[in-house]
A and B are shown apart, each in its own frame.
Chain A
Amino acid sequence: MPNNKKPMLEKILDTVGKNFSEEKVHAAMLLSFAESMYSIVRRDCTPSPFYRVSFDKTNHCIEMEETKGHSKVPKKNVLDINDMDLLLMCDLREIPGLLEGETGVGKTFGIQRYLSTVFKEGQYFSHRLSANAFLNNLFQHFQEGKMVNGMPVVEARKDRIERTAAGVIDEINRGDPNETLQLFDNEMHLGGLIYKLGIPIPEIKSGAYNENTGRKKKMFLVSAQNPSSSDDAKFTGTMQLDAAVDNRLLKIYMNNAAASAGSTLWLGDGKGKRHELFLNDFSKRTAKKLGLDEKLIAEDDDTWLSTYAWITDSSKTDKPILYSAIELADLMTSVFSGNLINYYKYEKQVLTDWNSELGTGIEINEDLQETEKVKKIHEVTDSFKVPIIFRDIVQIKKVADILATLKNIKDSLRTKDPVKNYVDIVKCVTVREVAEATALVARNKQRANSVSPVYGINEVLNQYCKLTEEYMKEAKRLHPQFDIYDGDAGIKNIAIYRAIRENISGSRDIDGLIKEIVKESKKLVGKISISEDVRNVMIARSASDLMTLCGFLDQYKQELQVYKETETEKPVLQKYKKPTDANKILEAIGKFYCEKQRDDAITMPDIYQHRIQRTLGIENSL
């Protein structure tokens, strides 16, 4: 392939050769992509501020302010989120976005500016849905209709399927939910075939550029709609989104920024071809960041899509989620899952059942009462249009990731050496992002004019950090203060580590380990108090998780007792003799669980599959 027809990534690889660092090049291209996009879009599209989020590390609480189109005075340690931030993050994290707001606030304008900057014409589609189902074809861009012998025949436009990176759908709430869901899943069902939409992602493997890996960057879909008639009587032609569609979107209420932007709107410069300007600017910035000659690596229009797919491949901005973040997300889910009193009863019952199975002696006798705290939590959950479902849990993870990514990008760009800073920055999802994400997702699930979920989220966050800290103090940890970046912090994590360490110094068998975990759980349950309902729910859930782990250990006792990491080694429980080896034993138990889950998935009790992984904090990577 002639050099000028190669994508920028390949050109960089050719230029840098063995010194190619994927991490560094990605950081440079990602940061340049973001900078160039903002630089071009903001020439004639003023920001529409959405949210200001901040986290108080000392007091462990978040603030989420819906800025409603008003730009705010700069403040340290806050993350301001505007329309372009959201669009960029939805693109990077592959989440369909939906801007909802009144006519004229600039929803479609902003989206069009983003798409026409990042892509050239034909690389994205724009579709406005009407109220007539026959005229509404979501896949119009990818289909061709003909009349053959008086019968309509529809064919797929394959030329467009792999060359369309994005799309904007106006008034998506008028669309057929089934078709919308197909589109969000990046699929088109036609004539008995399923067409996968999106752009192939290239990769660098063994120092070589590989264009076709079989992986695809999901099509970036973004929608806009007026408020539904049931939320706002002014827009009577629209209806509420189907719940299944609604739950797949990240819905953002877009307020009117006109008052804040004022006559600045007159002074914008929308001249020139945006995408060309963007590509030039992007090439310049990338070259500068990597210290390369711009001419050698300049991106070409024809190759841009594969470069774009590589930059925005969501796996590149995936980041680990700390144990405490997983635990908090889990507790947030339980607290906001519905009726707290019934939920508590369920966890109590789990403890009772494990007690009768294993004789743990751990039971909670009292029910949760309908206190004012409980009522306030119910006020939030009752405002949800749809209760917390699997997809919300996934959304919280995605949004947490978005927030972490946005923070990483913005924080890096504020430094003198953004690429180095971005590469070095701690990239993980902490309790901060989980709390902020829960607030955004919860807001997304609420009916209009509902009570803010932030107070309830702060209550959970506050209680969680307090309980973890209290537990860390009792465990006599060297630094008992809760640090959001502490990978070992977490109620159950500490309990399990302590139990394993005690067992290493004690009997070093599974029965001994179970006894130690039971001991830790008893301490936890002892913290149940009349006046702390939210905390009680956390304790009950954590204790039930720990007892479920005991149940698992007990069920597979014989096998675990002799479980070896490799054939030639001693069983794990004999091999590790120092308390500092506790994490290795924990890892081995995790590995054993994953093996069992794979081998015995059909017979493995659901309760293990629900609870063991989160309790051990392991990903099932087998």
Chain B
Amino acid sequence: MVLKILKNAESTWRETVRLATPLDSNKPVIIGTKPRQGDFEAYTDNKRIFINVDEKKFRKNFEDIIIPAYEDACHLLYSMPSVPTSEVFPNLVLDNFLFVHFHEQLHPWLCPNSKQDERKISKALYDGVKKKEPGLSKTDILLKVNNSKNLIWDVVLNISFLSKTAGYNNDDLEEKLGFVFAKNKRQIGKSPVTCYPKGILPIIYIISANNRTTDIPISLIGGMYSTLSYNNSDIREKALDFFLDDLKSKKISNSDSIDIIKEMYRGFISELDLKELQKKSIDKDDYKKRVAKIHDLTSPDYEINQKYFISTLTKIFDTYSMRYDSLKGFMKVLSPYMSLSGKQGSPDPNSMGSPGGSGSGEKGEGDSDPSGGGGSGDDSDDEKSQDELDGDSMANTLDDLLGELDPKEADDLLEEAANSGGGYGMGGAGKNLLKKIDTLAADEYYKRNADVLEVRNPSQENVSFSLGTTKRWKLVRTDTLTPADVSRLNHGPIVNFQRSTGLPVLIEAGGGFFKLNQYVLEETPQKSYNSQLTGIEIPDNWVFFQDSSGSMGSKSYVGTGCKFDILNRVKYGLQKGLYKVCKAMKKDLKFGVVDFSDSTHYSGLDSLIKVYESRSHPVKDVSLNPQCGNTYFNSGVFLKIKKDLAPGKSIYTFITDGQIDGDTSSLYRRIDEFSNEGNHSFVFIDVGSASTFGRSIESMGKSKQNVLYFHVSNIKSIKDKLGSILVRYK
């Protein structure tokens, strides 16, 4: 039955969309029956809507929680004298599913409606958290922004939905829904349903609150939705109680919860300029007076206030000059309750289009709550692990903030986030997330700050180039024509052709007959040769061996100028150079990093383009997380590398700043073996004092063209002197 109602809801939604928002008329809805968790999930990739519902669980939740709360006053929501008991469930479920459809459909229309909108919202939230909690580290602010942004998008979207379905601000969704209901003769008992009921929005939040699957911010927002919904005080009180009870279980008293909700309302206008409010005829004092009455749920003018708030907030969200400041003010209130460890709200619908083609936020938190459920439906996400999705989501937030913050603040944020690794006593998901931020921020930092190292091959080669083509007419056919045939010819082109080419087309053949010659233009390419610099011949594999022992620097190395910091500038400079060349020449190579210190880390090889473009990648986890221990090298890693190599030429760049401990004779043998195979080249760089092992490689290099040894006094010299050598062979 639930599925049948869901399909009915889809059909009603589509009919309405055709009239109200025609551009989405053919938006696909994909319905499934296996939510990853809980009873229900819905999400969008902006192009399609995905809804998965477990009929049994969903029905049980509805019957146990919603029906008892709504049953008595259901007729009031539908503005009719009575609703038969048997009609309560199907109608509430239908309207609930309608809300879900509109929620997912309207995401890309209302919030965030573009990449710029997403960025500006993230910045507003950043400013809000920073203002409320000035002592918070930039990394914590970043975490709070990342964890709250989806929830805030939903607030904008849901309040606008209330406005649209109530017909406020000249919106016609209410009218179109009424039209479709009337056209389809929707009835409850014998009464026609003429408009969308007031009080559907909080339903799924109520189920979550009742089941204690929400965090404090969601319950606070659910409470706020309750005060914005319902045209009857009894049901409004019942709905709000669900959230107050949940908040009480989280140690916030009822009166405190009400105060916070009032503060949330005030938050929306707290950062707004008086002049901007006046432009939209919003009186700040009047607004505040109305907020003071929020707790009085039985007040006779409660619905007048509801209408005022829905209409005013929608107006604010819809105005460029107020939208972001309003969310900043709102965030100020929610910030102290916002978790550092878990993301809240629905997933990032716009993250599909972000640079690098990354996926969206987490999947499968699906309780009966759109703010907690789902993930992107992009097929590519199915291949991504939860870690990768988390990384992508965080990277989007970081990206958004870096694009909006002033350059100094952005650099500070990057440095702090990149160096935040071990300093936080957070457990579980938070710790993982921080580790991710480290790597993400360090990656972004070096992408921004490393100078590109030009990758060129100075040798010259003869190359051919086209001089163009030569053309000549070739006779392909001759026909004999009678005078009657001739009179039907197109004489204009014939005369023109004869004049311009001097070739005979129509000629008298005697005896009253004519000959018609037909020609085609033949083209022959003309080539010449020239000697020119052909640029680098891209290898097929590049493995970067890096020493991350204690002498190279500490774990907080980003931007410090220590050896490991400079090494990364060199590494990223080279990556940038190669990435550029790969893109230009439309060729890719496999790239990997071997990090050695106490142990030898290696996470395989992958496309350099993919590694460089990804925000989160196992190669980067190895590359950007120094061990800061001793200088051991386990030469067994060569066996793993060998398995991962693409056929063709391979280059190994090896940088160390001291004596290598461990089985160096085995390492020497591996290098010797590999270099004996024609396609492998080694570039070994000793930094500081020349190591014994380095000297042995230097000797090897004297007899082998494909083993190069360099000794430099400091890492900076690598960049200055050896930039183009690092990936050279022969």
Residues in A lying within 8 Å of B, measured CB to CB: 56, 58-59, 61, 132-138, 140, 143-147, 150, 152-154, 176, 179, 365-366, 369-373, 376-377, 452, 454-456, 458-459, 462, 466, 470, 473, 526, 528-531
Contacts and interface: CB of A to CB of B under 8 A. Distances in A.
A369 B318 contact: no
Interface in B479-502: 483, 486-495, 497
Contact of A135 (B26, B317, B490): B490
Interface in B523-570: none
A134 B487 contact: no
Nearest to B171: A466
Given A134-B493, A134-B494, A152-B489, A455 B23 contact: yes
Interface stretch (B83-91, B110-118, B360-368): B110-118
A455 B320 contact: no
A373 B113 CA distance: 9
Contacts of A373: 23, 109, 113
A371 B114 contact: yes
A133 B486 contact: no
Contact of B170 (A61, A456, A466): A466
A301 to B, nearest CB: 27
Given A152-B486, A529-B319, A372 B26 contact: no
16 contacts: A59-B179, A133-B490, A134-B490, A134-B494, A135-B490, A140-B488, A145-B487, A147-B483, A152-B506, A154-B492, A371-B113, A376-B23, A529-B318, A529-B319, A530-B320, A531-B110
Given A134-B494, A179-B492, A462-B22, 6 more contacts: A134-B493, A143-B491, A152-B489, A369-B114, A470-B170, A531-B113
Nearest to A370: B114
B25 A455 contact: yes
Closest 6 CB pairs of A and B: A369-B114, A458-B22, A137-B490, A372-B108, A145-B487, A529-B318
A473 B115 CA distance: 35
B18 interface: yes
A455 B22 contact: yes
B102 interface: no
Given A371-B108, A372-B108, A459-B22, A133 B320 contact: no
A480 to B, nearest CB: 11
Given A134-B516, A145-B491, A150-B508, A369 B115 contact: yes
A560 B404 CA distance: 50
Contacts of A369: 113-117
Contacts of B101: none
Contacts of B149: none
A462 B172 CA distance: 10
A153 B494 CA distance: 11
Given A154-B492, A372-B108, A366 B179 contact: no
Contacts of B115: 369-370
A152 B113 contact: no
B638 interface: no
A135 B487 CA distance: 10
B46 interface: yes
Contacts of B103: none
Contact of A459 (B21, B179, B483, B514): B21
Contacts of A58: 179
A465 to B, nearest CB: 9
Contact of A371 (B25, B109, B516): B109
Interface string B60-81: 0000000000000000000000
A369 B19 CA distance: 24
Given A137-B490, A145-B488, A466-B170, A455 B319 contact: no
B323 interface: yes
Contact of B487 (A144, A456, A462, A526): A144
Contacts of A370: 114-115
Contacts of B114: 369-371
Contacts of B170: 466, 470, 473
A153 B492 CA distance: 10
B109 A372 contact: yes
B585 to A, nearest CB: 29
B320 to A, nearest CB: 5
B318 A530 contact: yes
B456 interface: no
B690 interface: no
Contacts of B18: 61, 458
A474 to B, nearest CB: 9
A133 B493 contact: yes
Residue from A61, A147, A179, A531 with most neighbouring chain B CB atoms (10 Å): A531
Contacts of A56: 19
Contacts of B488: 135, 137, 140, 145
Contact of B19 (A59, A366, A452, A470): A59
B680 interface: no
Contacts of B25: 455, 458
B659 interface: no
A455 B117 CA distance: 25
A104 to B, nearest CB: 27
Contacts of A530: 113, 117, 317-320, 323
Contacts of B26: 452, 455
A147 B514 contact: yes
B601 interface: no
Given A466-B170, A531-B109, A146 B487 contact: yes
B474 to A, nearest CB: 15
Contacts of A137: 488-491
A58 B505 CA distance: 66
Contacts of A529: 318-319
B518 interface: yes
B604 to A, nearest CB: 36
B576 interface: no
B154 to A, nearest CB: 15
A524 to B, nearest CB: 13
A473 B497 CA distance: 68
Nearest to A132: B518
A535 to B, nearest CB: 11
A462 B173 CA distance: 12
A152 B495 CA distance: 8
B489 A135 contact: yes
Interface string B17-33: 01111111110000000
Given A372-B46, A530-B320, A152 B494 contact: yes
Contacts of B21: 459
A58 B176 CA distance: 10
Nearest to B279: A526
Nearest to A471: B170
A117 B487 CA distance: 29
Given A466-B170, A530-B318, A456 B23 contact: yes
A500 B159 CA distance: 39
Contacts of B317: 530
Nearest to A139: B490
A176 B493 CA distance: 10
Contacts of A145: 486-489, 491
B41 to A, nearest CB: 21
Contacts of A59: 19, 176, 179
A556 to B, nearest CB: 33
A132 B477 CA distance: 11
A528 B172 CA distance: 17
A136 B113 contact: no
B44 to A, nearest CB: 10
Nearest to B21: A459
Contact of B490 (A136, A147, A455): A136
Contacts of A150: 507-508
Contacts of B489: 134-135, 137, 145, 152
A128 B20 CA distance: 48
A394 to B, nearest CB: 26
Nearest to A533: B113
B281 to A, nearest CB: 10
Nearest to A151: B495
Contacts of B22: 61, 454-456, 458-459, 462
